[in-house]
Structure 1
Amino acid sequence: MPVDSESPLGREPEQTAQSVLNVIKELVKELRQGQEPPEPIQLDCDFDRDLGFDSLARAELIQRIEQQFKVNLPDQTLAVIETPRDLLRELLHAESQDTALVSEQIIRQIKLGAVESAPEQMETLQQVLDWHVKEHPDRPHLYVYQNADQVTEISYRALRDEALRIASGLVKQDVEPGQCIAIMLPTSNDYFYSFFGILFARAIPVPIYPPARPSQIEDHLKRHARILQNSQVRILITVPEAKPLSQLLRLQVPSIQAVVTVPELRQAASGPLSTGDAQSSDIAFLQYTSGSTGNPKGVALTHANLLANVRTMGRVVCVDSTDVFVSWLPVYHDMGLIGTWFGSLYHAIPLVIMSPLLFLSKPQRWLWAIHHHRGTLSPAPNFAYELCINKIDDAELEGLDLSTWRLSWNGAEPVSPSTIRRFTERFAKYGFRPETMSPVYGLAECSVGLTFPTSVRLPLIERIRREPMERFGRAITAAADETDVMQIVGLGQPLPGHQIRIVDEFGRELPEREEGGLEFKGPSATQGYYRDPEKTQQLFHGEWLDTGDRAFMVGGELFITGRSKDIIIRAGRNIHPHELEEAVCNIPGIRKGCVAAFASHDSHSGTERLIVLAETRETDKVQQQRLQQEVNNLSLDLLGSPPDEVVIAPPHTVPKTSSGKIRRAACKDLYEQNKLDARQRTVWWQTLRLMMAGINPQLRRYWRIVSDFSYAAYMWLVMAVLAPCVWCLVAVVPNKRWCWSVARLGVRLLILFTGTRVTMKGKENLPDNTPCILVANHSSYLDGLIMALAAPTECNFVAKAELLKNPFARIFLSRLDTEFVERFDMQKGVTDARRIAANARNNRSLFFFPEGTLYRMPGLHEFHMGAFIAAVDGALPVVPITLCGTRSKLRGKSLFPRRGDISVTIGKPLTPQGTDWNAALALRDQARAEILSHCGEPDLAHIEK
């Protein structure tokens, strides 16, 4: 094994080479469960093809080499090594750990003054940057890690000046507004300059990731060719080293007119720009989906979409310019580009950013960057927290201080309760607080963020019984001693101005704790996929957008259970593949993160077969059969039945996206095209077994749909019979007391005939024969009916004046002495308020819905002051009443009633402490706090202000 370099390590190069091979051999034996590799390991073995080393295995190898030889390998080692000879070459030129110094730039804290205002009136990203340049041009915006120990500072002025030069260079290339420009650059100064340069040229940026290793060129070309063909990219901006690759890509994409580098664009720049002003409705950039469930789709996001998203996210998490953002997330994906960079840009937050390669090669760099720069905000996907748990030694964390870390958003992939717990426990001694971990949910079609916790809190984990969820899609809370449970992490509530809903197969909204498809709408939502009307049509269900995810809600909190396209319906069960995959990955001998569970449709039986595809380095047939049996046994324990087929495959069989997600749709295609080289069971055997196992569960599944529609029809029939009778009696009986008796009788009959259980707590808190003001939360059309039972006999409802326009409502409510108030005519509204206050002083109890109207989304909104001013003026106590269950039973803007129980909690009377405005405010806050403590829904008032 000839080596043509001298070793700086105090030994002969041949000895160094043999030591490297020994380290590799030990790692291979560990990965193969103690077995020797089938062929001798030599310097020119291919890490991918011959040894099956993925990125994490290479990172582990580099870590061991550094520890054994006491050196610091270059940061690009992970990306450039293809063989042991490549690793040896990097090692022979490495620096001793004793001579590796940390730059003073790294260890200094970032201390910037607070920015009192924000670019709230700006409508485009260009205007936001211009605003910052006008207000504080030399304020640092970016701190970009050039390597592990060198950071470059970029101010707002420098960012704009460099971007304008690149924009001028693009215009010299005959770029016109609305054309697409691709950026294939790593995280670097030039990336940020190029992105805004494209915007200032009025073109559309298309970020794509650069190739990590030469061995990935073929897949890289194929994947990016589809993106660039769809977007009809005119120019590709890349690094000089990638130009040969880019020229190959250009041959596959005829629309590309030039492949350029940033220095070339700078040299071509000349003269001022005259491209005109961008509009808020212009496409700001195209975010191509990762392709984990199919071909990439270009999500078109406007400036209005992006600014709506970063503004609302900032409001919910209470960020300001005194925060410090630290990130290693790639800036060609939405979480790193929008959530990290655009969010920091808008709110004047300094952003410390390093490349993903720096993090992957040494995960502790992320944590130390938070320590050195006193970072307060730093997000990451779930796998990053796992990497920190498993790949960092305690010795590498000595002196680490994470106490400044305020929020650590966990999103972009399924969030593991185990990861949350173990990361919190591991890093608690370094100052990491449990409430810092904040699971969130988002998707490219909603810019980036959709649901966030509305306050700093401990992560919310729901333990639900497995059997009802898998068979009927119902999230029933498990008892403390139950073991067959699923743990699902809460992901917060929708951002202000956004709404979500859970729907069944027919698009009907489901009540809480029932699983269905997740849909959303809001100002951050895309208008569709770029040049793909067919996929855009599939995305929209009326005004709602389909996320492709399965979920349920509890108290307004979102819980994701899986992808709709990945759901496997087998023997009447909804199987969520990621849970099975996670369990199979823990089997010794199975490669972690290299398992795919997917459904394959059987045209003969009309049902789906569960296929588990798992990678292993085992080559012995006996060992492979052992792994198959262990997967079968695990599935039997987890699901109650084994898979239809377990495919044990060699490394790199399971297709993945650029971000490491399993491409289950691609796995299915390979399997069905017979390209996995696995024996399949005979069709007659599949058909017979699935028919025997699946008939009863399938019937139970469809019974749920039929029973839901039947109940809705039955409840409307009951109301259709009762409502005319009650209305006529109320219209003709001679006095108010009789009217109330008839109305209450009608409500009791409706409750009885529809099988609704209504429980009332605190009835004793209603004052006896004493007037009072009653207030309740408003969440359903049923609230007024339920309050007719809860309210005292001598009580007047306060309703909106618009109801007077409906003769049926006017006659019915007037007979119950309802007070009507004007909501839109301010002068008339003041008169109505004075009249109601006078009635309160005349010893008449009044009932209010202080939220003013009902909302379909869970949450307690701000209270209007009318009820509390009336209470203060009349010196009357306020009785807070909490209604639960009515929203799920009949949601606002829905005419589809569901089964469900209702509870009414009547709080203790609150006495006014004064007669002025401040007394009314205090009374309002006390009543609202009491209702909020019982309703089980989020507090939306503080994020509506």
Structure 2
Amino acid sequence: MNRPSAAMGAAEVLQIVRMLVAELRPGQRLTPDLDSHLERDLGLDSLARVELLTRLEHAAGVRLPTGTLATAETPRQLLAALRAAHPELAGLRTDIVLPETPGEAIEAPAQAATLVEVLEWHAAHSPQHVHIRLLHDDVEIATLTHDDLLQGARRIAAGLQQGGLAPGEAVAIMLPTSLEFFTSFFGAMLAGGVPVPMYPPTRPSQLEDHLRRQAGILDSCRAPVLISDADVRTVARLLATQSPSLKRVATVQELTDTAASSTSAAVRTTDLALLQYTSGSTGNPKGVMLSHANLLANIRAWSHTIGMSADDVTVSWLPLYHDMGLIAAWLGSLYNGCPLVLMSPLDFLSRPARWLWTIHRYRGSLSAGPNFAYELVLKHVEDAELAGLDLSCWRFAVNGAEPVSPDTIERFSERFAPYGLRRETLTPSYGLAENAVGLTVHLPGRGARIDRIAREPFFRDRKALAATASDTTTLRFVGCGQPLPGHELRVVDPAGTELPERHVGRLEFRGPSATSGYLRNPEETRKLWHGTWLDTGDLGYLADGELFVTGRVKDMIIRGGRNLYPYELEEAIGTLPGVRRGCVAVFGAADPTTASERLVAVVETRAKQDDERGTLQHAVEGLAIELLGVPLDEVVLAPPHSVLKTSSGKIRRVATRDLYLSGVLGRQRSVRMQLLRLAASGLTERASRTLSRGAALLWAGWAWMALVLLAVPVWLAVAALRRPAVGWRIGSHGARLLARLVGIRLDIRGRENLPLDAPCIVVANHASYLDGLIAVAALPRAFAFVAKRELQDNAIAYRFLQGLGAEFVERFAVQDSVDAAHRLATRARAGTALFYFAEGTFVGQPGLREFRLGAFLAACEARLPVVPVTIRGTRTVLPDETWRPRRGPITVSIAPPIPPQGTDWSAALALRDATRAEILAQCGEPDATT
């Protein structure tokens, strides 16, 4: 076991490979040689390769580099890795103690309003405290102090600002687990940007699917810059061909190679701190908008519940682009000032025992993982690897991010009890990106609660009734604790009515961690919000106030009037011989002939012999009848990597179903073919964008030509006649004709609300130079615009507005001078209908600005009603700071008149607020005053 690796020759390596292949493929005559491809020729998937590397290490007495799992594809390459390995690492010390760092006791910055303030607090109070310890191959390769993090972030911020990053723009970060990720994240914040973590490509066989999903993220967030490293730069540049917004792909080195200094952007607690793209297990990824307030609320509530402090040590291998690794492990550790001991996901996957030994060596007290991680440890860690292991320091082992298996909880606590692990350490939790990360968890020291419920009432009546002791068909669900402090959770039926305990329904939540919605996705945002509650998309029930999750709404299958859930069947199929565990998808596919759903199971297997596949198919069908009480309509025995997964390992059932329905399930293309397809797709996208830009420019040119051709005669007629009523009709006909000529659809709603003869005052929002033209086109009677005095200096605008009977006032006189309001009120009482843009001006940023009081003082003085008019769409058709129009619909909504309730200042204020509230509800833009 301790001989040098050079003593192991090709024959011994091949013998170990052959023994493993024979175990996995009994009866098949496979004769591996040094150049056999481990996956393609020998059928060794990633988990089988983990087992192979473990056997080779045991035989040679060495530790192979972590990258061997990803790079070695043949026995010859494995032999080369063995000869390059370091035998001394095989006997790695197990008595490492986390070094002390100088400085006073560390406190959490309770008054910090942003994550930037959190970092600056720690950098000022404990600059030399080691915040992150980065491991690779069981060796600590780098550290990062609080001051290192701040200074590195400032250098990257300078590079981003020098590259032209504007405040509020997204910064995509596609980096592996490295110290550069953390400085890039805060560098984006310090530059005024919004970090968007993205995961680098992993499996070559799914490169095309990966890049298309990442291109979708870039299209959504419109990031102008992507930070990557040299290893994935080629892939990142391919993404640039798919995303029109991406202008620059840069490495950290390139960003920091500048002499410029950064100017810290002003960051508010309500500003976006993170765009977290959902994993997409049930659909396309959506950009969850999380503010600094959201993140800090979640971190503080979570820390308070589990008692997290600077005395803790967090150990994590979780990906940094996923909420559990990013927010719970890293940002939670940063806030509380506790050290984070970090290794890459590949370190863990290649040798799961590393996770346990890292906890042992650094006396880790907090560590988390999804259910599959605990299963991987149970399956691939041998007792011989555990000699001397002490897990008594581990006080909080979170199991979340995917369905928690009761079997996993029981077996893991049993297996590691002899090594100091207490059962109450295992802590199931529930969370979702829309609530930052965590939503429910139970208090430390209580232990997991497993609920045994009767099967038939659950499927028939959607009730979670406790099963009797003699019932052998029970279902088991794991309790995930109570909501975090300040957060609420409820269970509702399809009509939105709250259900009592032990009734299964949709889970809804609310609280300070809740997102405001999905970026540039109003349709999905509307689906998310139900009044003041947010829909999780999950099903579950409450028992004694504790949450038990039963499944996803979109994964539920309706068959013969019964609601079926795929998880139990998937897990059972995964235990069958020949099935790749965790690579089974059960879903419903619409069947138009029965108006129900076909029940389909996609099962990954390497079995090729007809009799072996037939036996497996019968076993799968038998499990379906046993567990669900209904037969499967189809069993698809598919090759490896057919079942799609998210970056966090969740089954993408909807995406897998779409592949099944399209008939391409299981087809794999070579990496070269995928890259060629992506390159071709990128060229097609660029050509399409070029044609679209050309068409848009031609249309813009035609729009201006039509405007000039119509504007000249209309202006001459209005300016020469100087009869407002006639001029309004001429202008109205001209404006409507222009809209028809250029193809802009003008939708006018609520004409019946506008008094045609009685005096009134119209108040509208202001978003574009087009608003005046649209008002003339939309309103069927003449109005006198109340315009700013500066327009008198513009001869063309002044003569036209004068012909329409406009009233010119000092820009701020309407707000500040009662005399101006009195003069306008006198004119209104005399029969002149006035038209105000109450915001006074407009800017490019969407949002309804504060209303000035002039219109409302005049309305109260004259005792005339105010008619709110909402103009929607002009900001899109002709945005501020550009003279290039774009196609788009425009809507004008005329609301019922609002009469004043008095003549004093308070009445004017009330009239202003009521008018603004009506326009805000219709304009489709946020409130710019909040």
TM-score normalised by structure 1 residue count? 0.68
- 2-side partners of 1:661 and 1:537: how far apart? 25
Answer yes or no: is 1:22 the counterpart of 2:12. Answer: no
1:339-738 to structure 2, matched below 5 A, reads 339-676=328-665
Residue 110 of structure 1 and its aligned partner are, at CA, apart by 5.2
Answer yes or no: is 1:138 the counterpart of 2:128. Answer: yes
Of 31, 34, 58 in structure 1, the residue corresponding to residue 24 of structure 2 is: 31
Q: Give the structure 2 partner of residue 175 of structure 1.
A: 165
Query: How has the CA–CA distance of structure 1 residues 486 and 589 changed in structure 2, closer, same or farther, with 3 Å as cutoff?
Result: same
Residue 522 of structure 1 and its aligned partner are, at CA, apart by 0.8
- 2-side partners of 1:445 and 1:35: how far apart? 50
Answer yes or no: is 1:63 the counterpart of 2:54. Answer: yes
Q: Give the structure 1 partner of residue 299 of structure 2.
A: 310
Q: Give the structure 2 partner of residue 188 of structure 1.
A: 178
Cα pair 1:580 1:635 within 8 Å, conserved? yes
Cα pair 1:324 1:375 within 8 Å, conserved? yes
1:424-466 superposed Cα distances (whole Å, 9 cap, x missing partner) = 1111111100111111000001000000113520211100001
Cα pair 1:613 1:646 within 8 Å, conserved? yes
Answer yes or no: is 1:200 the counterpart of 2:190. Answer: yes
Query: How has the CA–CA distance of structure 1 residues 135 and 95 changed in structure 2, closer, same or farther, with 3 Å as cutoff?
Result: closer
Cα pair 2:106 2:337 within 8 Å, conserved? no
Q: Give the structure 2 partner of residue 765 of structure 1.
A: none
Amino acid at match of 1:244: T
Q: Give the structure 2 partner of residue 790 of structure 1.
A: none
Of 64, 67, 91 in structure 2, the residue corresponding to residue 76 of structure 1 is: 67
Q: How many residues align?
A: 665
Cα pair 1:309 1:524 within 8 Å, conserved? yes
- 2-side partners of 1:91 and 1:637: how far apart? 47
Of 253, 271, 275 in structure 2, the residue corresponding to residue 282 of structure 1 is: 271
- 1-side partners of 2:119 and 2:95: how far apart? 25
Residue 50 of structure 1 and its aligned partner are, at CA, apart by 3.5
- 1-side partners of 2:283 and 2:33: how far apart? 39
- 2-side partners of 1:270 and 1:489: how far apart? 54
- 2-side partners of 1:528 and 1:270: how far apart? 36
Residue 376 of structure 1 and its aligned partner are, at CA, apart by 1.1
Cα pair 2:313 2:363 within 8 Å, conserved? yes
- 2-side partners of 1:63 and 1:303: how far apart? 44
Query: How has the CA–CA distance of structure 1 residues 499 and 337 changed in structure 2, closer, same or farther, with 3 Å as cutoff?
Result: same
Q: Give the structure 2 partner of residue 295 of structure 1.
A: 284
Amino acid at match of 1:91: L
Cα pair 1:292 1:664 within 8 Å, conserved? yes
Cα pair 1:166 1:269 within 8 Å, conserved? no
- 1-side partners of 2:89 and 2:36: how far apart? 32
Query: How has the CA–CA distance of structure 1 residues 283 and 376 changed in structure 2, closer, same or farther, with 3 Å as cutoff?
Result: same
The range that moved more, 70-79 or 557-566, is 70-79
Query: How has the CA–CA distance of structure 1 residues 181 and 106 changed in structure 2, closer, same or farther, with 3 Å as cutoff?
Result: farther
Query: How has the CA–CA distance of structure 1 residues 267 and 113 changed in structure 2, closer, same or farther, with 3 Å as cutoff?
Result: closer
Q: Give the structure 2 partner of residue 228 of structure 1.
A: 218
Cα pair 1:75 1:148 within 8 Å, conserved? no
- 2-side partners of 1:425 and 1:114: how far apart? 40
Give the match's secondary structure for 2:367: coil
Cα pair 2:425 2:444 within 8 Å, conserved? no
Identity %: 51
Amino acid at match of 2:84: H
- 1-side partners of 2:496 and 2:356: how far apart? 45
Q: Give the structure 1 partner of residue 906 of structure 2.
A: none
Amino acid at match of 2:364: G
- 1-side partners of 2:219 and 2:648: how far apart? 21
- 1-side partners of 2:648 and 2:444: how far apart? 30
Q: Give the structure 1 partner of residue 703 of structure 2.
A: none
Query: How has the CA–CA distance of structure 1 residues 107 and 135 changed in structure 2, closer, same or farther, with 3 Å as cutoff?
Result: closer
Q: Give the structure 1 partner of residue 800 of structure 2.
A: none
1:52-131 to structure 2, matched below 5 A, reads 52-96=43-87, 98=88, 100=90, 102=92, 106-108=96-98, 115=105, 117-131=107-121
Residue 89 of structure 1 and its aligned partner are, at CA, apart by 2.7
The range that moved more, 302-311 or 615-624, is 615-624
Give the match's secondary structure for 1:71: coil
- 2-side partners of 1:302 and 1:57: how far apart? 43
Residue 319 of structure 1 and its aligned partner are, at CA, apart by 1.4
- 2-side partners of 1:472 and 1:240: how far apart? 56
Query: How has the CA–CA distance of structure 1 residues 99 and 327 changed in structure 2, closer, same or farther, with 3 Å as cutoff?
Result: closer
Cα pair 2:103 2:128 within 8 Å, conserved? no
Answer yes or no: is 1:162 the counterpart of 2:152. Answer: yes
Amino acid at match of 1:394: D
Cα pair 1:52 1:651 within 8 Å, conserved? no
Query: How has the CA–CA distance of structure 1 residues 103 and 189 changed in structure 2, closer, same or farther, with 3 Å as cutoff?
Result: farther
Query: How has the CA–CA distance of structure 1 residues 677 and 384 changed in structure 2, closer, same or farther, with 3 Å as cutoff?
Result: closer
Residue 57 of structure 1 and its aligned partner are, at CA, apart by 1.9
Query: How has the CA–CA distance of structure 1 residues 44 and 659 changed in structure 2, closer, same or farther, with 3 Å as cutoff?
Result: farther
Query: How has the CA–CA distance of structure 1 residues 146 and 645 changed in structure 2, closer, same or farther, with 3 Å as cutoff?
Result: closer
1:207-286 to structure 2, matched below 5 A, reads 207-212=197-202, 214-271=204-261, 273-286=262-275
Q: Structure 2 stretches of 5 or more lacking a match? A: 668-930
Residue 8 of structure 1 and its aligned partner are, at CA, apart by 7.4
Residue 254 of structure 1 and its aligned partner are, at CA, apart by 2.3
Give the match's secondary structure for 2:664: coil
- 2-side partners of 1:396 and 1:104: how far apart? 12
Give the match's secondary structure for 2:431: coil
- 2-side partners of 1:10 and 1:351: how far apart? 37
1:856-867 to structure 2, matched below 5 A, reads none
Give the match's secondary structure for 2:257: helix
Cα pair 1:184 1:237 within 8 Å, conserved? yes
- 1-side partners of 2:13 and 2:182: how far apart? 39
Q: Structure 1 stretches of 5 or more lacking a match? A: 1-6, 679-945
- 1-side partners of 2:537 and 2:329: how far apart? 24
- 2-side partners of 1:455 and 1:436: how far apart? 7
TM-score normalised by structure 2 residue count? 0.69
- 2-side partners of 1:145 and 1:264: how far apart? 25
Give the match's secondary structure for 1:378: strand
- 1-side partners of 2:197 and 2:74: how far apart? 30
Residue 106 of structure 1 and its aligned partner are, at CA, apart by 4.5
Give the match's secondary structure for 2:601: strand
Give the match's secondary structure for 1:629: helix
Give the match's secondary structure for 2:368: coil
Query: How has the CA–CA distance of structure 1 residues 269 and 525 changed in structure 2, closer, same or farther, with 3 Å as cutoff?
Result: farther
Cα pair 1:109 1:374 within 8 Å, conserved? no
Cα pair 2:104 2:126 within 8 Å, conserved? no
Amino acid at match of 2:600: I
Amino acid at match of 1:670: L
- 2-side partners of 1:269 and 1:381: how far apart? 43
1:857-880 superposed Cα distances (whole Å, 9 cap, x missing partner) = xxxxxxxxxxxxxxxxxxxxxxxx
Amino acid at match of 1:121: Q
- 2-side partners of 1:252 and 1:146: how far apart? 34
Query: How has the CA–CA distance of structure 1 residues 587 and 450 changed in structure 2, closer, same or farther, with 3 Å as cutoff?
Result: same
